[in-house]
Structure 1
Amino acid sequence: MDEVDRALVAELQCDAAQSYAALDRPVLAYVMVGADAWMGESGGAFAGIPEITEAHVIAGEASVLVKVRTATTEQLQGVLRRIYDIQGSGGHPGDRRPGDLAAGSVRW
């Protein structure tokens, strides 16, 4: 557990009915990550991104599905850049890069 997790646990111990929005992480995204190489050794790289709250190996067009929570859409784009930098990551199956998203074009 890192310091962000400890802060969240402390807040939830005070009031477990709080929403994520109240905990300063209102942006939620499920990101499908494609692979252009074997990613079997990349678990540590995903674990090194604290905004990723869950990661699952999946079958189909993508190889990994990650759940990401951030405070802003700008922070989400930064997380996407770090995900795409992981060795073997082919990014989103549609080959979109975070820079392709125009500011304000994503609706939450």
Structure 2
Amino acid sequence: MEKTNTIQKKSATGRGLDDLDRKILGEMSQDATQSYALIGRSVGLSPPAVHERVKRLRASGAIKATVAQLDGPAVGKPLLAFIHVDTVGWGKTTEMMALGDWPEVEEIHSATGDTCLILKVRVASPVALEGLLSQIYDTKGVRGTRTYLTLSTHLERAVQAEVSPDLEDMTGIK
């Protein structure tokens, strides 16, 4: 049997996702620990066929990583906030991107509108948030911040591969 662990990454212009790829990704986004056999039963493929498609999806970059989705309060970080950071000049500097090394920072987004960057952060308490904001203010290039605390979360999930049927017509994605 030929080894296929060395499948090369395809370029962005390579083969797009087909319906079976989207179904496999949908299954994995619900539970990435399920076996290829179980995924295969759900999407109508054999386990080896699912395995090959998953390897191809990893190689293409459609699957970036397989990680555990942690519960903030359960790991001692019940406070979720979004911090809009105003910077001097363009926000994507080495100093600003280094914020991604801090365990409290979950996401960094360049943005349009009245802010340069949006940070998604989780901390243990308001005092911890105050300390994090102090560190952000000490970062070279930061002019100011606006912080939005979440009261509750109604939906939080990873990127979904499925496309709503009524959007397929507008996007051309099938």
Q: Provide the residue aligned with 2:83 in structure 1.
A: 31
Question: Taking structure 2 as the reference length, what is the TM-score of the superposition?
Answer: 0.41
Deviation at 1:84, TM superposition (A): 1.1
Cα gap change, 1:62/1:25 in structure 2, threshold over 3 Å: closer, same or farther? same
Q: Provide the residue aligned with 2:106 in structure 1.
A: 53
**Distance between the aligned counterparts of 2:97 and 2:116, measured in 1?**
16
Unaligned runs of 5+ in 1: 1-12, 97-105
Instruction: Check the 8 A contact 2:91/2:110 in 1, yes or no.
Output: no
* SS of residue paired to 1:68: strand
Query: Would you say 1:22 and 2:69 are equivalent positions?
Result: no
Q: What letter matches 1:25 in structure 2?
A: K
Instruction: Check the 8 A contact 1:45/1:86 in 2, yes or no.
Output: no
Unaligned runs of 5+ in 2: 1-32, 34-67, 152-174
**Distance between the aligned counterparts of 2:99 and 2:70, measured in 1?**
27
Moved more, 71-80 or 43-52: 43-52
Higher relative contact order (CA 8 A, sep 6+): 1
Instruction: Check the 8 A contact 1:83/1:91 in 2, yes or no.
Output: no
Q: Displaced runs of 4+ in structure 1, greater than 6 A?
A: none
Computed over aligned residues only, the root mean square deviation of the Cα atoms, in angstroms, reads 2.8
Q: Provide the residue aligned with 2:122 in structure 1.
A: 69
**Distance between the aligned counterparts of 1:39 and 1:17, measured in 2?**
28
Deviation at 1:59, TM superposition (A): 1.1
* SS of residue paired to 1:67: strand
Instruction: Check the 8 A contact 2:81/2:150 in 1, yes or no.
Output: no
Greater gyration radius: 2
Q: Percent identity?
A: 30
1:81 equivalent among 125, 134, 152: 134
**Distance between the aligned counterparts of 2:116 and 2:77, measured in 1?**
26
Q: What letter matches 2:116 in structure 1?
A: S
Deviation at 1:69, TM superposition (A): 0.4
Deviations 1:26-70 (A, max 9, x none): 000000000123433234431232211110000111100001101
